[in-house]
Amino acid sequence: MSTNAPPSFSNATVGKKILMAITGFLIIGFVIVHLVGNLQIFIGQHQLNVYAETLQNMGALKWAFRIALLVFFLVHIWKGIVLWLENRSARPVSYTKETNQESTLASRTMIYTGALIVFFVAYHISHFTLLDCHPEYQSLPLVDGRFDVYSMIILGFSEPLIAALYIIFVGLVAFHISHAFSSLFQTLGLTKPELLKRLRLFGALLAWLIFLAYASIPVAVLAKIITLPGGGH
Amino acid sequence: MNLTLHVWRQKNANDKGKMETYQAKDISDHMSFLEMLDVVNEQLADKDIDPIAFDHDCREGICGMCSLVVNGTPHGPERGTTVCQLHMRHFKDGDTIYIEPWRARAFPVQRDLIVDRSAFDRIMAAGGFVSVNTGGTPDANALPIPKKDADTAMDAAACIGCGACVAACKNASAMLFVSAKVSQFAYLPQGQAERKARVSNMLAQMQKEGFGNCTNFYECEAACPKEISVKFIAKMNREFMRAKVLKD
């Protein structure tokens, strides 16, 4: 038997992966709930603004949710970087010729898509939540006494560059999830060979669904399918 | 057939090493890959060049000694085959073949294509065993084991410890090896006594040896000459959680 005590759960090789899997699962859950919220833009201005106001009025619950989400992200990022550094150092001399038999491009680029997602999330929060980089949104007229999220989104996505960056952003998120989904079940030991095949397929489908659904909003704005209530902008 | 070989040459563990190019002449397609290297070594000896050092023993695909990465794939392009059982008929005249050693911090190169795999022995010593008091031979049917469990344990025990899973993994992780060794005992009654300590200690030793972490690429399963399934990695992850939840 080895004389040293095994590392603690959060430092053990499988422990770190389990933390990645659980936080990743919760973040995927958030991505889906967030999407359901966003898609209400297709119902109309009133629906979206009421929904946004409901979320904003949740008070302590809203903050509990935000802090929890921040913790999930921080743990996921922290353990992800630790795993990546360890994995890099595990092969100091690389192969002259390397082949890929089973691994997907998404699986091999998780650290890069993950890093890009962090930057996009920072911009996204600044853009639509804090309104730092677009202070003009704060002067949007209230509609029925509510902040006009509907018009803010249409104004934002009317700029093709912002819409394009957003589509790239949700594309990266979807690509990351395409590997993450089945991977988290494998890490949590919830798979069997046949089930793993189906989970991998479902992960790819889920990723496409998330990408198309999120991207549909900027596309609909640019295609003028959803427009400002006043007609133009 | 004639081939162009790009082979990793390294004098000893401290040498930097580099790829060298050799021509392999008059190779029969009936030869195994290792027999092809034997012929090349004779041709090199005629030119006063040191023969290429590579690990081999049984040449029957059961000992786990041979360990060549052929064109970027451990044990070469044939699935479920050790490189000693890979035949030259899978190559064409004029082919270029890259031959490299297993690449992992935990498997330091000793010479040319030979790596030191004693890290695996230390992982086994950390928990890959069953402690029993020896005595009279037990009666054959004294310990009933369901057929399904016996079969699954046998599938895991098919691992020959060659290290192709480590060589194939982009993270040089030994998860498939460790999971096979953990699982072969976890499915059997004899393995129950040390079940919790085994998974924790073997994984801890894997980490200590400098192997990477699993990120579910599944390259290991594709490279494994015994086609060990990644289902055993899922099994080991369950074993790890079980060991953490069920405290003594």
Q: What are the residue ranges spanned by the domains of chain B?
A: 3-100, 118-245
User: For tokens 């993950």, what's the residue?
Assistant: A114
Mind listing the pLDDT tens digit of every residue in chain A (233 residues)? 445 688 999 999 999 999 999 999 999 999 999 999 999 999 999 999 999 999 999 999 999 999 999 999 999 999 999 999 999 999 999 999 999 999 999 999 999 999 999 999 999 998 888 777 778 888 888 898 899 999 999 999 999 999 999 999 999 999 999 999 999 999 999 999 999 999 999 999 999 999 999 999 999 999 999 998 865 44
* C-alpha–C-alpha distance, residues A55 and A62, integer Å: 7
Q: Domain of A80?
A: 13-90+109-222
What fold characterizes domain B118-245? Fumarate Reductase Iron-sulfur Protein; Chain B, domain 2 (1.10.1060)
Among B129, B179, B215, most A C-beta atoms within 10 A, so best to mutate, is B215
DSSP string spanning A149-209? HHHHHHHHHTSHHHHHHHHHHHHHHHHHHHHHHHHHHHHTT---HHHHHHHHHHHHHHHHH
What fold characterizes domain B3-100? Ubiquitin-like (UB roll) (3.10.20)
| Res A233: pLDDT | 43
> Is the CB of B204 less than 8 angstroms away from the CB of A12?
yes
> Is the CB of B215 less than 8 angstroms away from the CB of A18?
no
* C-alpha–C-alpha distance, residues B149 and B17, integer Å: 46
Answer for the pair A169, A68: CB distance below 8 angstroms, yes or no. no
Q: Domain count of chain A?
A: 1
Answer for the pair B235, B228: CB distance below 8 angstroms, yes or no. no
Residue A75 lies in a domain: yes
For residues A148 and B134, the model is more confident at A148
Pick B103's closest partner by Cβ from A13, A86, A91. A91
Residue A202 lies in a domain: yes
Among A4, A13, A198, most B C-beta atoms within 10 A, so best to mutate, is A13
* C-alpha–C-alpha distance, residues B129 and B201, integer Å: 12
ipTM of the complex: 0.93
- Give residue B83's pLDDT band: very low, low, confident or very high (50, 70, 90): very high
Whole-number Cα distances in Å, A200 to A83, A109, A125, A213, B123: 22, 17, 31, 20, 31
Q: How far is A67 from chain B (nearest CA, A)?
A: 27
Q: What's the pTM value of the predicted model, to 2 decimals?
A: 0.94
Put simply, the chain A residues between 150 and 209 with a CB less than 8 A from any chain B CB are: 179, 182-183, 186-193, 196
Q: How far is B219 from chain A (nearest CA, A)?
A: 5
Among B106, B117, B107, B129, which Cα is nearest to B208's?
B106
Residue A150 lies in a domain: yes
The residue in chain B having the minimum alpha-carbon distance to the alpha carbon of residue A13 is B213
Tens digits of per-residue pLDDT, B198-224? Answer: 999 999 999 999 999 999 999 999 999
* C-alpha–C-alpha distance, residues A62 and B231, integer Å: 40
The residue in chain A having the minimum alpha-carbon distance to the alpha carbon of residue B72 is A98
Residue A71, chain B, CB below 8 Å: the answer is no
Answer for the pair A200, A130: CB distance below 8 angstroms, yes or no. no
Point out which residues pair with B87 in neighbouring strands: B32
Whole-number Cα distances in Å, B239 to A47, A147, B102, B131: 48, 52, 28, 19
Tens digits of per-residue pLDDT, B41-77? Answer: 999 999 999 999 999 999 999 999 999 999 999 999 9
> Is the CB of A189 less than 8 angstroms away from the CB of B197?
no
Radius of gyration of chain B (CA): 20
